[in-house]
Structure 1
Amino acid sequence: MQSHEKQVIPERGSKLDPYKDTIQKLMNLGIFNCEVIYERIKEEGYTGGRTILRDYVRQFRPPKQVPAVCRYETKPGQQAQVDWGEYTYIDEETGEIRKLYVFVMVLGYSRAIYVEFTNRCDVHTFIRCLIHGFEYFGGVTDIVLTDRMKTVILGTGENKKPIWNPTFEDLAATLGFIPKVCRARRPQTKGKVESGIDFVKNNFLPGRKFVDYGDLNRQAIVWCEKKNRRIHGTTGERPIDRLKKENLKPLPALDKYQKFLEEARKVHKDGFLSFDGVRYGVPWQYSGKEVVVRDKNGKIEILYDGKVIAVHEKHYRSRSTVFLKDQYKGLKEAEGMFYPRPRAIKLSSLEVEKRPL
């Protein structure tokens, strides 16, 4: 009887086989980039394709690594982290996509958050938002940590120390905090506020409806109040409760930092100046003059030579025009001139007879 033994078919060799030692040595060095490996074994005579190489390397490739960092916890009252974010919204009236900016401030110990939206992100706006944040929290931290934003840092000097914007540096001295910048290429040192920016963008803004910046900021404060009363995922406590332990330094009297809430503006010929995208009226006599605009508790005060010449309710709708009562009173009679126009004088006939020759 004839025996039927199973025929053993020898495995076909792979084009990679002669080069697996080289591949293994490269992988031992942490090189798993198949393009790099391909070029190396090609120099040794490999004639195969990239696909078979990728399939082979895949089984040895380690999982993607995320660099570990040390969590930095701040002491009560030690640090506030601040940052700008940028977002877009749809203007329902025009259908245009417009840009807005969000200022976020987070206290390092309590994780209490303050949010304010603006239509610009210059140093004056940043300082105004920072002051509003300290007023919201009821005091000042020892340190304010920012990234390398151009609004507050003009460059770097000796030993790579930041050259601060003089106005921001003056504010720091006035309020009593130390400005610090997070290390280059180490944004995780400012992680608390970074996560706050992301949370605002992903949870507060999407689908939110608002009339103007004033309306949006009122909604933002309500949102902050709710968030500060929820259990924080990291601390396991409510920020509002930890805020009581912050021991913040009191703000100085308002007159000490009032100047940081003021900006200079030029009055146009029509008696209006522009502030935050809104045109505010002043008495026509100040046309062409440089005045000071003070943003104070929902009011816009306009001063000339230290004297208040106009007060308006703050408006938030961009391109609005806000008139002042009796703004043009006396303009027609004065023919637009603040001082009387020089004129010749016609004398009476009697005065002509008495005139010396």
Structure 2
Amino acid sequence: MSLLYALKPNPQQMQVDWVEFPKDNLSAFVATMGYSRASYVEYVNNEKIETLIGCHMNAFAYFGGVPKECLYDNMKTVILSRNDYGKGDHRFNPLFADFAKHCGFSIKVCKPYRAKTKGKVERFNHYLRYNFHNGLRVRLSMKHYTLTLDNANAEVLKWLDNTANKRIHQTTLQMPFELLAQEQLQLLPVPKAYQGIHPKALIESVAKKYSPINSHKDLEKLYIPNRDIQCYDEFIPMVANIILPVGFYGGALWS
């Protein structure tokens, strides 16, 4: 065993990526733990933010906890633009940022054109494609079956439990599951199901990020989840004072 893995575990990071399989109309969410190299895979038919959040929750349940930070590339569902509020202070998707806060992890992003920063998950992506996915397609086709979302997820879980996370990893020289058992002792607990942005958090975000001058343009970009409209009633006067200047539209704002 290398000296690095004889030291105390440091479960700081989980690296996250999408792997696309266009011939099958599927993508795979892949998460790899930075210390143990344990990995979780979930096949999906879209890469929407709601899907991304659901996959994160399933990954945390699989790993038995939440790491202190998660690393991404330039996923638009995670990061909207870089350095908007200063160097290294990026503008994240407000829904995903709220989800990260709910779970207790911080968001980290690779530098532009430096995707190899998340090399642990990138290497696993190659392993997934050539050790599992392509072989599964061949086996199914020989039996005249088509690769689907359901059979892909059923088979990949068996592969993760019996092969991928039980192999001797070339870097750590240990089984990922063995190191994960140590890693779990320092992970944050898996949170309750995420219910979406709370209206108060949404209003605070508006007050901080958007000015009256360009508010109409900016609000077009703001994500507002579907909710009962009555839950926003108490915030209407506050929004009016934040967004619209006094006398806008030539009279009273609300009747």
Q: What is the distance in 2 between the residues matched to 1:222 and 1:152? A: 29
Report the 3-state secondary structure (helix = DSSP H, G, I; strand = E; otherwise coil) of the residue aligned with 1:189.
helix
Q: Deviations over 1:223-281 (max 9, x none)?
A: 111211111111000111100111211112x2xx3415xxxxxxxxxxxxxxxxxxxxx
Q: What is the distance in 1 between the residues matched to 2:126 and 2:176? A: 18
Aligned to 1:177: 105
Aligned to 2:131: 203
Gaps spanning 5+ residues in structure 2: where?
141-145, 197-224, 231-255
Aligned to 1:233: 170
What amino acid is the match of 1:150?
K
- Aligned residues, how many? 184
Aligned to 2:29: 103
Q: TM-score, normalised by structure 2?
A: 0.66
Shift of 1:160: 4.8
User: Is the alpha carbon distance of 1:193 and 1:213 closer, same or farther for their aligned partners in structure 2, counting shifts above 3 Å?
Assistant: same
Report the 3-state secondary structure (helix = DSSP H, G, I; strand = E; otherwise coil) of the residue aligned with 2:37.
coil
Report the 3-state secondary structure (helix = DSSP H, G, I; strand = E; otherwise coil) of the residue aligned with 1:245.
helix
Is 1:250–2:186 an aligned residue pair? no
Shift of 1:74: 10
What amino acid is the match of 2:178?
D
Shift of 1:179: 0.5
What are the within-5 Å matches in structure 2 for residues 30-41 of structure 1? none
Shift of 1:204: 1.0
Gaps spanning 5+ residues in structure 1: where?
1-70, 90-97, 261-289, 293-302, 306-357
Shift of 1:76: 2.5
- Name which of 47, 61, 66 aligns with 1:140: 66
Aligned to 2:201: none
What are the within-5 Å matches in structure 2 for residues 1-357 of structure 1? 75-89=9-23, 98-156=24-82, 157=84, 158-208=86-136, 209=140, 212-225=148-161, 226-246=163-183, 247-252=186-191, 254=192, 257-260=193-196
* CA RMSD in angstroms, aligned pairs only: 2.6
Q: What is the distance in 1 between the residues matched to 2:53 and 2:226? A: 20
Q: Higher relative contact order at CA 8 Å, sep ≥6: structure 1 or structure 2?
A: 2
- In terms of fraction of residues, the more strand-rich structure is 1
Q: What is the distance in 2 between the residues matched to 1:244 and 1:109? A: 11
Q: Deviations over 1:60-96 (max 9, x none)?
A: xxxxxxxxxxx9x99532100000111133xxxxxxx
Q: Does the 8 A contact of 1:82 with 1:146 survive in 2?
A: yes
- In terms of fraction of residues, the more helix-rich structure is 2
Q: What is the distance in 2 between the residues matched to 1:164 and 1:291? A: 20
- Percent of pairs with identical residues: 38
**Which structure's CA Rg is the greater one?**
1
Q: Does the 8 A contact of 1:74 with 1:109 survive in 2?
A: no
Shift of 1:150: 1.0
**Which region of structure 1 is more displaced relative to structure 2, 104-113 or 183-192?**
183-192
What amino acid is the match of 1:145?
L
* Deviation beyond 2 Å, 4+ runs, structure 1: 73-76, 209-212
